[in-house]
Amino acid sequence: MTKHQETLVLMGLGGDKVVARQNKFINFLNKNRPNDAQILVFPTNWQTPETYTEKRDRLSAYIKLHPDIKIIYGISAGASLAMSLVPEMPHDTQYNFISGKLRRPETIGTERNTRAPALYESVVASEYVIANDDISSYNMRCYVGFLDGVLDIQDMVVPGVPVSRIPMINHSATIALAYMTTLRTL
């Protein structure tokens, strides 16, 4: 049995340059981590015509290939996918939602619905888990900035889940600081 824990990151809607920067940072972190404590990045591919069901099925297959995942980070739109994993993951899995779109799919907007057609259904699925599971019995934390500028606080927090305030203004800056302060730990 491993003494470390693999971590899964589910990224948000960022464009190719943003995703490349995040992957570069995670690759840097992985160089200093033991083989049994790597940070894995699931290709969320938000900006494709992939349906939510296809994306969720692909994620389930990915999870089966990596059974040692014990920590999940849902970043922005990726938070809704992370929340959808709750029913299939072991109860002791740790969830971290950074500036996460977890609730209120009706506030997504036309531009983001066009860019990421699976996002609306993903947030609907997240709300379903929040409403139908005892979320307070899981190891979860929501990380939110002081002023996001993209998401409202109601989108990012879940009743009964602890909230950590990141001392930052701006969606991307909050995510970057949260990466720096939370992902580097084993």
Q: Name, in order, each residue with C-beta under 8 angstroms of 129's C-beta and a sequence gap of 6 or more.
A: 83, 84, 86, 87, 135
> Residue ranges per domain, the chain?
6-183
Beta bridge partners of 134: none
Band the pLDDT of 186: cuts 50, 70, 90.
Answer: very low
What would be the CATH architecture of the domain defined by 6-183?
Answer: 3-Layer(aba) Sandwich (3.40)
Helix (H) or strand (E) holding 60: helix 52-65
> pLDDT per residue over 141-180, tens digit each?
999 999 998 999 999 999 999 999 999 899 988 988 887 7
Mean pLDDT of 135-144: 93
Q: Name, in order, each residue with C-beta under 8 angstroms of 93's C-beta and a sequence gap of 6 or more.
A: 69, 70, 71, 72, 85, 138, 139
Is residue 80 within 8 A of residue 122, CB to CB? The reply is yes
Band the pLDDT of 4: cuts 50, 70, 90.
Answer: low
> pLDDT per residue over 71-89, tens digit each?
999 999 999 999 999 999 9
50-70 in b/e burial notation, b at 16+ Cβ within 10 A?
bebeebbeebeeebeeeeebb
pTM: 0.91
Place of tokens 């992939």: 50
CA distance 120 to 109: 9
pLDDT at 112: 79
More confident residue, 118 or 29: 118
CA distance 155 to 55: 21
Whether residue 185 has pLDDT greater than 60:
no
Among left, alpha and beta (phi > 0; psi -120 to 50; other), residue 155 is alpha
